[in-house]
Structures are given as C-alpha cells and as structure tokens.
Amino acid sequence: MAETEPSMIDVGARLAAEALIVDVDGFEGPLDVLLMLSRTQKVDLRQISVLALAEQYLSFIDKARDLRIELAADYLVMAAWLAFLKSRLLLPPDPEEEGPSGEELAAHLAFQLERLQAMREAAAQLMARDQLGRDFFARGITEDVTRVRRVSYTATLLDLMQGYARLRTKDDFRPFVMDRDAVFTMEEALARMRPLLGFAGGWTDILSYLPEGFTTDPARRRSATASTFAASLELVKEGHAELRQGDTFAPIQIRRKEGRDG
C-alpha cells in the first residue's frame, strides 16, 4: 500500500506541514487542509487512514500554535473533534456509550474528503470546457423582436344609428327627455329598449341603451342606468332578451332572444 519509505513520508509530511504554516490563508477551511494532508498518504482516498490523518492534522495545529499563528476557530473545532475521534478509534468501544462508533465517524470523514475531492475535480472539468465568449460565440448582430401594436376599431350598427339620429336631430329636435327632470322611468326605458333591441345584433352593453342627454350628468345617468337595468330584467322576464355578465362589475350585456316573437 505505502510503497514509500517511512522516512520519506515524514519528510513529505513535514514539508507539507511547513507549507501549510506559511500559507494558512490559502486554505479553504479545515476540510481543505485535511484533503491536502491526505495527499501525503499517497493512497486512494477510500483507503485513507483517518487515524494517521487525524494525527497529521493535530501536529499541524500544534506547529501553528508554536509559531503563534492565529488560526480561525473552525480549525480548532476540527482539531478538537479529531482528537475525540482519535480516542474513539484507539480505545475499545464502550457498550454503554451512545452515538455513532469511531469507525462510523471516520468513514464519514473519509466520505467528506472524497466528496470534496470529487467536487474539485468536477469544477476543474467544468472550467476546462469550451466556454461561451471565449471558445464559442453567440450572434454578434442581433435583431430584436419589435412589438407592433395594432389597434382595431369596432362599432355596432346601433352606434351607427345613434350617431346618425344624433345628427338628424341636432338642430331642431330636442330629445323629449330634456324637458323632464332627472328621472328616467322604467317604462320609458322599456319603451326605448324594445324596438332598439332588434337592431343591436349580438351582445351589447346595456349602458349603450342610455338615452341621449342621460349619459353625462351623474344624477341623470344614475337614474337612466337603474331604469335601463330594470327594463333589461323585465325584457328577460318576458322572454324577449338574455342578459350576461362576464365578471363582478363587468359590463352587463343584453341581446334579443332568438326565436321568440316580440
């Protein structure tokens, strides 16, 4: 297994330990130090002697202390834990003792080292891949997708008729509603809606049936809206129309019910 001379290991370990001491900042934590030390054993990580590794680490910490190098708490915690592990591994197992055995703990440490080593190698393989912007390239001249907004205008026949009627009555015709107060009765709404319903075709917002002169003034608009709504319900009750509303507060739409003689 260890084909090198014992003295060689010592030399190697010493050199490694010295390198550590000079450059302790270069390590990424105690696990990194352990991984470094484990290389001196020159064996597969799966066959590593955790006991020997623990001893190497503890001597590394001792040396660092001798040289009065300040070590981060992590390193000392690891040292304490390895000292504990070492005692577990050396002493016969106490049947009273709870918790994992020394072998289990050592196996886990070996696993951690192997896993870290594997991640290092994977990282190196990843970084060795061809990379975008270095080895292969994306399109230099890109064409953005331009968003074209197209507005489509619509109108209904009823809009057209109301528009035309508005023009024809502008000068000399005052809508009869203008002479009354701000009340538009349900009877008036019914009388207005009955003939118009046939022209609207499909679903139409009931608000489009509000009479001329009742759409701007809030009081008039309220009255007309209420009576138009009541009239719509009446028409539905009579079986002449259908109502629908897509959502709460969405426009209420009406259309003539097909197949019924108005």
Residues 188 and 79: their CA atoms lie apart, in Å, by 95
Decide: is 152 part of the binding site for other proteins (CB under 8 A): yes
Smallest separation (angstroms) from other proteins to the CB of 45: 10
Q: How far is the CB of 239 from other proteins (least distance, A)?
A: 21
Q: Which is nearer to other proteins, 64 or 197 (CB)?
A: 197
> How far is residue 140's CA from residue 102's CA, in Å, rounded to a whole number?
60
Rounded CA separation 240/260 (Å): 7
Q: Give yes or no for a contact between 217 and 232, defined as CB atoms under 8 angstroms apart.
A: no
Contact between 31 and other proteins per CB under 8 A: yes
Site string for other proteins, 162-191 (x = CB under 8 A): xxxxxxxxxxxx-xx--------------x
Question: Is 68 an interacting residue with respect to other proteins (CB under 8 A)?
Answer: no
Whether 27 and 36 have beta carbons less than 8 Å apart is answered as yes
Q: Which stretch binds other proteins (CB under 8 A): 3-11, 23-31, 55-63, 224-232?
A: 23-31
Integer-rounded Cα radius of gyration of the chain: 45
As measured in angstroms, the least distance from the Cβ of 71 to other proteins is: 13
Q: Which of residues 189-208 bind other proteins (CB under 8 A)?
A: 191-192, 195-196, 199, 201
List Cβ neighbours of 67 (8 Å cut-off, separation of 6 or more): 21
Spatial CA neighbour of 205 closest among 193, 216, 214: 193
Across 10-46, b (16+ Cβ under 10 Å) vs e yields eeebeebbeebeeebeebeebbebbbbbbebbeeebe
Binding string to other proteins for residues 211 to 250, with x set by CB under 8 A, is what? ----------------------------------------
Segment 88 to 147, residues that bind other proteins, using CB under 8 A: 99-100, 104-105, 107-108, 111-112, 114-116, 118-123, 125-127, 129-147
> Smallest distance, Å, CB 180 to other proteins?
15
From CA 177, how far away is CA 222, in angstroms rounded? Answer: 14
CB of 34 to other proteins, least distance (A): 8
Among 1, 5, 94, 149, interactor with other proteins by CB under 8 A: 149
Helix/strand/coil for 8: helix
Taking the complex as a whole, the smallest distance from the CB of residue 223 to other proteins amounts, in Å, to 17
